[in-house]
Amino acid sequence: MSKINWNFKNTYFNLPESFKEDVNPVPVKNPDLVVLNESLASELNLDFSKIDKKELSKIFSGNVLPNGSNSIAQAYAGHQFGHFTMLGDGRAVLIGEHTTRANKKYDIQFKGSGKTAFSRNGDGRAALGPMLREYIISEAMSALNIPTTRSLAVVKTGENIQREKILQGAILTRVASSHIRVGTFQYIAARQKEDELQTLLDYTIDRHYPEIKNSNNKALDLLNLIIERQCNLVVNWMRVGFVHGVMNTDNMSISGETIDYGPCAFMDSYDPKTVFSSIDQMGRYAYCNQPVITKWNLARFAECLIPFIDKDKDRAIEIATETINTFEKIYEEKWINMMRNKLGLIGLDDKDKSLILDLLTWMHKKKVDYTNTFCHLMDQGPKKEKVFENNDFLDWRIRWKKRLLKNNNSSDKYINLMKNNNPMVIPRNHKVEEALIAAEDGDFNPLIKILGILEKPYLKQKGINDYQQTSPLGEEYKTFCGT
Ligand code: AMP
Ligand code: MG
């Protein structure tokens, strides 16, 4: 197995007992590799090319653990739809931290790997459809240049699992710069042992934010850095119309990566209230609420840090509140700049905000496809659409063209700006479903095809018209948490 180049340097394993359970993946009956991400493997300096499929199936099911791995389930808590619960890896294990030649660390986690101490009433398993869905969408997000966990492989376990109906079991190999969540801090904070919280704080800074290692107020600096990262992340989601769907605090990563692709989906026609998750009846995690919830989650994170922000508790709360309240300003500025990029606007103009909002309002009113509107503005729309002959739109377009003149720059520059910020293709709900349904039937061709197309979302690709159309599934499309 030395040919693969695993290089495990496991640090979370060495943290106190309360942080995790030492547990191996539960072996599966008949593992069968479905997909392996060779380009990610090579980014990680891993080489699976000399390993046959049978062996790969054993590796990615956890039936055989690589040398140097120390398998653990991580403890965490979380606010789920606003309610605090003790959680933890109930169907996942972290087999170790692989370290690349550039000395970058990546958690290698098996999701769907069997019961752990945190499984509560669950079976510890995952189904093929949701694991492939996570694979498709996380890889699409990475190609869209959005921070995210990655997907290295999916195997079928050869075992059935019982959900509403019987489904094929599967295991996803998830790669993350770590799996430390807001919920990890909440779990340790709830134990009320300051030394443990100090350990987690120091560990997190050491792993993700070493630049503040020697600062005077590490906790406050960490909070500021994470506000910045999370703002960047959610602005990117808004840029491409991504609706995460289950922004519980346990699904918010301290590294600022998108994590946990359960009920997420991409918005078709522009509607700020877009929700896909079947369990999100109140729209808590609707498209337009994502920044609000990000701030709410960050406030829960700040609460965990209170003991370290100031010795005087009241003063610490005051400082934390002030810090959290910087969110709106930071977000607003990042959001407007992101929208400027989508419209190719260089420099600042007083009327930019109204120009942007007027386009969004028009899109909402006319139920126009979000992605394809920007493609249309780049003269790259997948088809001629009557809606763009609408007078209100044409008036808006004149205003936009006038504003472009103020760019004071070559048109190449604004066109490139637009091309780098507006995807030509996103994971359309009907095409994702089509690939998953075929895969469940043993036909992996549509899966391979969609993965290939989504690798290059900003390029004009031939023959992908079908993948650029507004999903006929429409707003009625419902997603599930994938348990
Ligand atoms: P998620 O919805 O994937 O964010 O999961 C929320 C919590 O439920 C986490 O603690 C998971 O580990 C746990 N969980 C989800 N599905 C299962 C399952 N099938 N068996 C055990 N635990 C699960
Ligand atoms: Mg989760």
User: pLDDT tens for residues 3-40?
Assistant: 899 999 999 999 999 999 999 999 999 999 999 999 99
Q: How far is the CA of 260 from the centre of ligand 2 (A)?
A: 5
* Nearest protein Cα to ligand 1, atom 16: 483
Is residue 456 scored above 50 in pLDDT? yes
Q: How confident is the model at residue 483 (pLDDT cuts 50, 70, 90)?
A: very low
pLDDT in tens, 134-190: 999 999 999 999 999 999 999 999 999 999 999 999 999 999 999 999 999 999 999
Tell which residue, 4, 291, 301, has the closest CA to residue 180.
Answer: 301
- Residues 21 and 71: their CA atoms lie apart, in Å, by 9
Instruction: Using DSSP bridges, classify how beta strands 72-74 and 20-22 pair: parallel, antiparallel or unpaired.
Output: antiparallel
Please check the confidence at residue 1 and state whether its pLDDT lies above 70: no
- Separation of alpha carbons 6 and 78, rounded Å: 32
Residue 482 has a pLDDT of: 65
Q: Note the ligand closest to the C-alpha atom of 123.
A: 1
**What residue's CA is closest to ligand 1, atom 12?**
90
Output the pLDDT for position 353. Answer: 98
pLDDT 10s digits, 83-127: 999 999 999 999 999 999 999 999 999 999 999 999 999 999 999
From ligand 1's centre to the CA of 481, what distance in Å? 9
- Residues 32, 89, 107, 250: which is the catalytic one? 250
Report the separation in Å between the CA atom of 71 and the middle of ligand 2, taken as the mean of its atom positions.
18
- Provide mean pLDDT across the span 371-385: 96
Nearest-5° Cα angle at 297, 296 to 298: 90
Pocket residues: Cβ below 6 A from ligand 1: 87-91, 118-119, 122-125, 250-251, 260, 262, 481, 483
Considering every ligand atom, which ligand is closest to the CA of 279? Answer: 1
Q: Computed from CA positions of residues 386, 342, 269, 143, in that sequence, does the dihedral angle turn out positive or negative?
A: positive
Contact (Cβ atoms closer than 8 angstroms) between residue 435 and residue 467: no
* Strand pairing report for 150-162 and 32-36: antiparallel
**Does the pLDDT value for residue 2 go beyond 70?**
no
Quick one: pLDDT at residue 481? 77
Q: Does the predicted TM-score (pTM) go above 0.95?
A: yes
pLDDT at residue number 476 = 81
Which residue is associated with the tokens 């290939």?
452
Residue pLDDT, tens place only, 32-59: 999 999 999 999 999 999 999 999 999 9
Give the number of the atom of ligand 1 that is nearest the alpha carbon of residue 248.
Answer: 4
Q: What is the whole-number distance in angstroms between the Cα of residue 428 and the centre of ligand 2?
A: 23
The per-residue pLDDT of the chain, averaged, comes to: 97
Residue range 316-340, pLDDT digits in tens: 999 999 999 999 999 999 999 999 9
- Which residue's C-alpha comes closest to atom 2 of ligand 1? 481
Is 80 exceeded by the pLDDT of residue 475? no
Q: Return the residue whose CA atom lies nearest to atom 6 of ligand 1.
A: 87
Taking each helix axis as running N to C, give the angle between helix 327-343 and helix 352-366, from 0 to 180 degrees, rounded to the nearest 10: 80
Answer yes or no: 250 catalytic. yes
Q: Which ligand is nearest to the CA of 253?
A: 2
User: What is the CA(31)–ligand 2 centre distance, in A?
Assistant: 24
Asked whether the predicted pLDDT for residue 290 surpasses 70, the reply is yes
